[in-house]
């Protein structure tokens, strides 16, 4: 796909797409968007690369694509809403990519949330039942540039030749699909011109395009399209590499199918992936994962509890309630197989036995993966396993597509392909060591915030539970907020400003005091007291309505006068008193001064408010953490309960 046109992706969407993902998504998008998008690549010479980003995926093809992902309808609705398509009313590239990423997340078992897409995800899978198996990336080279051509669009793309491969497969399906395609009301439905190998959606796409091949040209200036050109261009570029890599994956599937191993054999990439996951849960690969941690982790796979229970039974060979690395890999493998529709075996298959796994992947290898970047470590310790054959090609693999769930009848080849395909571990992502940690850390975290926090708390619970860090400085109860601390930042900041103005608003109760008390003694007191009282009083008064302040001011006036008389003797307030010393300030002058004071007081108020708000959020955070810990401890207690002596 001459996606070279891809150019820079304008404002990068909040999505972080790996190369494979980008390619895949842009290719899919182009398929859905059709010719108007200028085609990710093979676009006819006149393909309007001009505005590849203006393309939008038509609702029809997109809906079909989503359905092909075999997610439940409500999940699809969620995804549509989340990606913003509903908001903007159409599927622009951004929405489409987000949707695809969410599909991938949903298929991996993550909750459908925007956070889920922040991490590395396998490619979304779109299966059209058994036909998926027939779709193979025959020749990766073919992927370059040319897209599969719809039979009736010979002029559109020069990908006719590629189409030939799939024609036979697709034509058989086309009659069934075309009726579906014909109803679409809007021409955009036929926009999907560009197709690529290996995507079953491709097939359905082609079928849908049968009806009105030439209409595809029209929607070039689709009014719906509006997403920025940037994102549209970049994805196109990424599509190429993605599709290329995906084709390699499919190739590997073929390779795997050649090996008559049962699907219970863990491939190299799968193992890598499992090891990574293990390490994300337990940094020490020679140690084990506790039952609760593993439970939380495996629960994310959305399998039913009885099934998970059975899988655990199978994989925890020593029945110690914890999973060592081989056990974990076996369990993970079983889960993956189960998700692919494979019935669970009666007993642990020999290839999944911990001893076998240990032998197949000696300790050194386990450890190597820790320190080296995965792609490099793999060739380093080649195992005499036929699994490793795929390795070099695996490295090209873009991403980790969770196997499609189309194996219902136990098509071995299919399942094997899927299982083998499955772990194409985030090799691409992990190629860079720097990404390793990030993806590892990001992955579990982003999988589910709630569960990862529980995991953390559980981990914390496993060691002697350390009490949450008690903030020594702050109070645990909001009511006992340390006002000194609150006012401290504001006081020094406003120190200079604080003192001068307050005297303008002498304390309210003072009027009675100020007069009888001796002037000299009162000076410092009044100045200090006003500084505090005025601080609080302006805080109270200033926000209040004006009328209340007027009487205060009036009240203050006599105070001021008394104050002035007192302060005239000694300038205790410094600048404050200087400001105060005004012979018979008129009401207006006083009010203006007071206004200034009020304004500064307002400023102080706001500062204090900000401090309090910050404090509040911190306390909330602490409360949340403590709450979680409590939940974790309660869980532990629950689990320990049956074993306790009565």
Partner 1 sequence: MAVCIAVIAKENYPLYIRSTPTENELKFHYMVHTSLDVVDEKISAMGKALVDQRELYLGLLYPTEDYKVYGYVTNSKVKFVMVVDSSNTALRDNEIRSMFRKLHNSYTDVMCNPFYNPGDRIQSRAFDNMVTSMMIQVC
Write out the residues near partner 1 by the rule CB under 8 A: 291-292, 294-295, 298, 305-306, 308-310, 312-313, 316, 319-321, 346, 638-639, 641-646
- From the CB of 445, what's the least distance to partner 1, in Å? 21
By CB neighbour count within 10 A (0-12 exposed, 13-18 middle, 19+ buried), where does 96 fall?
buried
Nearest Cα residue to 597 out of 523, 530, 551, 512: 530
CB nearer to partner 1: pick between 207 and 455: 455
- From the CB of 210, what's the least distance to partner 1, in Å? 49
CB nearer to partner 1: pick between 473 and 641: 641
CB nearer to partner 1: pick between 325 and 331: 331
CB 65 within 8 A of CB 199: no
CB nearer to partner 1: pick between 251 and 316: 316
For the chain, helix (H) and strand (E) counts, in that order, are 30, 2
Output DSSP code: residue 385: S
Output DSSP code: residue 148: B
- From the CB of 296, what's the least distance to partner 1, in Å? 9
- From the CB of 619, what's the least distance to partner 1, in Å? 34
At residue 130, the 3 state secondary structure works out as: strand
Phi, psi of 342 (to 5 degrees): -75, 130
CA distance linking residue 358 with residue 372, whole number of Å = 19
CB nearer to partner 1: pick between 126 and 298: 298
CB 354 within 8 A of CB 330: yes
Q: Which structure tokens are listed for 610? A: 């900000």
- From the CB of 319, what's the least distance to partner 1, in Å? 4
CA distance linking residue 270 with residue 263, whole number of Å = 12
CA distance linking residue 453 with residue 629, whole number of Å = 9
CA distance linking residue 64 with residue 376, whole number of Å = 39
CA distance linking residue 398 with residue 239, whole number of Å = 11
CB nearer to partner 1: pick between 413 and 460: 460
DSSP structure string for 481-497: --HHHHHHHHHHHTHHH
CB nearer to partner 1: pick between 383 and 635: 635
- From the CB of 295, what's the least distance to partner 1, in Å? 4
CB nearer to partner 1: pick between 312 and 332: 312
- From the CB of 123, what's the least distance to partner 1, in Å? 29
- From the CB of 110, what's the least distance to partner 1, in Å? 20
By CB neighbour count within 10 A (0-12 exposed, 13-18 middle, 19+ buried), where does 130 fall?
middle
- From the CB of 455, what's the least distance to partner 1, in Å? 13
CB nearer to partner 1: pick between 69 and 292: 292
CB nearer to partner 1: pick between 461 and 507: 461
CB nearer to partner 1: pick between 35 and 308: 308
Alpha helices in 340-384 (DSSP H): 354-360, 363-371, 374-380
CB nearer to partner 1: pick between 320 and 618: 320
Q: Give, in order, the Cα–Cα distances in Å from 638 to each of 99, 128, 288, 634, 641.
A: 39, 44, 22, 6, 5
Q: Which structure tokens are listed for 513? A: 């005091």
Q: Give, in order, the Cα–Cα distances in Å from 310 to each of 136, 305, 349.
A: 34, 8, 14
Find how far residue 599's CA is from the centre of its chain.
44
Q: Give, in order, the Cα–Cα distances in Å from 399 to each of 11, 27, 430, 492, 578.
A: 24, 15, 10, 56, 74
Nearest Cα residue to 459 out of 330, 584, 291: 291
CA distance linking residue 143 with residue 100, whole number of Å = 21
CB nearer to partner 1: pick between 545 and 643: 643
By CB neighbour count within 10 A (0-12 exposed, 13-18 middle, 19+ buried), where does 45 fall?
exposed
- From the CB of 343, what's the least distance to partner 1, in Å? 13
CA distance linking residue 132 with residue 70, whole number of Å = 12
SS3 of 504-543:
HCCCCCHHHHHCCCCHHHHHHHHHHHHHHHHHHHHHHHCC
- From the CB of 58, what's the least distance to partner 1, in Å? 44
CB nearer to partner 1: pick between 344 and 579: 344
- From the CB of 348, what's the least distance to partner 1, in Å? 11
- From the CB of 305, what's the least distance to partner 1, in Å? 5
- From the CB of 465, what's the least distance to partner 1, in Å? 19
Matching residue, tokens 């399998």: 303
CB nearer to partner 1: pick between 306 and 551: 306
**H or E, element range at 289:** strand 289-290
- From the CB of 297, what's the least distance to partner 1, in Å? 10
């Amino acid at each position: 796909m001459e996606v070279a046109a891809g150019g820079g992706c304008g404002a990068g969407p909040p999505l972080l797409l790996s190369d494979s993902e980008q390619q895949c998504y842009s290719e899919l998008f182009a398929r859905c968007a059709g010719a108007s998008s200028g085609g990710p690549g093979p676009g006819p010479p006149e393909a309007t690369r001009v505005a590849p980003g203006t393309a939008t995926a038509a609702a029809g093809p997109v809906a079909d694509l989503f359905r092909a992902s075999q997610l439940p309808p409500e999940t699809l609705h969620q995804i549509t809403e989340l990606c913003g398509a509903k908001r903007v009313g159409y599927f622009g590239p951004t929405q489409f990519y987000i949707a695809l990423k969410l599909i991938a997340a949903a298929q991996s078992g993550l909750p459908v949330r925007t956070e889920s897409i922040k991490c590395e995800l396998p490619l979304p899978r779109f299966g059209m039942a058994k036909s998926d198996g027939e779709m193979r990336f025959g020749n990766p080279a073919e992927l370059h540039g040319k897209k599969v051509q719809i039979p009736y669009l010979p002029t559109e793309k020069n990908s006719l030749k590629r189409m030939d491969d799939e024609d036979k497969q697709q034509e058989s399906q086309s009659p069934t699909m075309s009726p579906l395609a014909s109803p679409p009301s809007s021409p955009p439905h036929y926009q999907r011109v560009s197709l690529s190998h290996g995507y079953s959606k491709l097939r359905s796409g082609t079928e849908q395009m049968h009806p009105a091949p030439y209409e595809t040209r029209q929607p070039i200036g689709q009014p719906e399209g509006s997403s920025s050109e940037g994102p549209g261009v970049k994805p196109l570029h990424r599509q190429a590499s993605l599709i290329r890599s995906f084709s390699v994956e499919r190739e590997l599937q073929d390779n795997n199918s050649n090996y008559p191993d049962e699907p219970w054999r863990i491939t190299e990439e799968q193992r890598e992936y499992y090891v990574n996951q293990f390490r994300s849960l337990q940094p020490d690969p020679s140690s084990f994962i506790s039952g609760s941690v593993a439970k939380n982790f495996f629960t994310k796979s959305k399998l039913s509890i009885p099934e998970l229970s059975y899988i655990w039974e199978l994989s925890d060979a020593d029945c110690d309630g914890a999973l060592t690395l081989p056990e974990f890999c076996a369990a993970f493998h079983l889960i993956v197989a189960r998700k692919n529709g494979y019935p669970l075996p009666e007993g642990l298959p020999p290839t999944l036995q911990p001893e076998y796994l240990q032998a197949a992947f000696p300790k050194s290898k386990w450890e190597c993966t820790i320190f080296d970047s995965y792609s490099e470590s793999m060739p380093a310790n080649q195992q005499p396993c036929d699994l490793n054959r795929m390795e070099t090609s695996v490295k090209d693999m873009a991403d980790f597509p969770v196997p499609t769930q189309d194996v219902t009848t136990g098509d071995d080849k299919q399942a094997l392909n899927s299982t083998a395909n499955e772990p194409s571990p985030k090799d691409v992502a992990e190629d860079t060591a720097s990404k390793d940690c990030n993806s590892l850390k990001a992955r579990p975290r982003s999988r589910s915030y709630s569960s990862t926090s529980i995991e953390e708390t559980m981990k914390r619970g496993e060691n002697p539970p350390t009490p949450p860090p008690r903030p020594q400085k702050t109070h645990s109860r909001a009511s006992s907020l340390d006002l000194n601390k609150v006012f401290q930042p504001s006081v020094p900041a406003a120190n200079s400003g604080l003192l001068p103005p307050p005297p303008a608003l002498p304390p309210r109760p003072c009027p009675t005091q100020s007069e009888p008390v001796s002037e000299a003694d009162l000076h410092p007191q009044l100045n200090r007291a006003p500084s505090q009282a005025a601080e609080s009083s302006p805080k109270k008064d200033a926000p209040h309505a004006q009328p209340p302040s007027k009487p205060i001011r009036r009240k203050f006036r006599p105070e001021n006068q008394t104050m002035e008389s007192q302060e005239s003797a000694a300038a205790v307030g410094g600048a404050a008193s200087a400001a105060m010393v005004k012979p018979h300030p008129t009401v207006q002058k006083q009010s203006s001064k007071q206004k200034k004071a009020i304004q500064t007081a307002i400023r102080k108020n706001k500062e204090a408010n900000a401090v309090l708000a910050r404090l509040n959020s911190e306390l909330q955070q602490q409360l949340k953490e403590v709450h979680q810990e409590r939940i974790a401890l309660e869980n532990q207690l629950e689990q320990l309960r049956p074993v306790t002596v009565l």
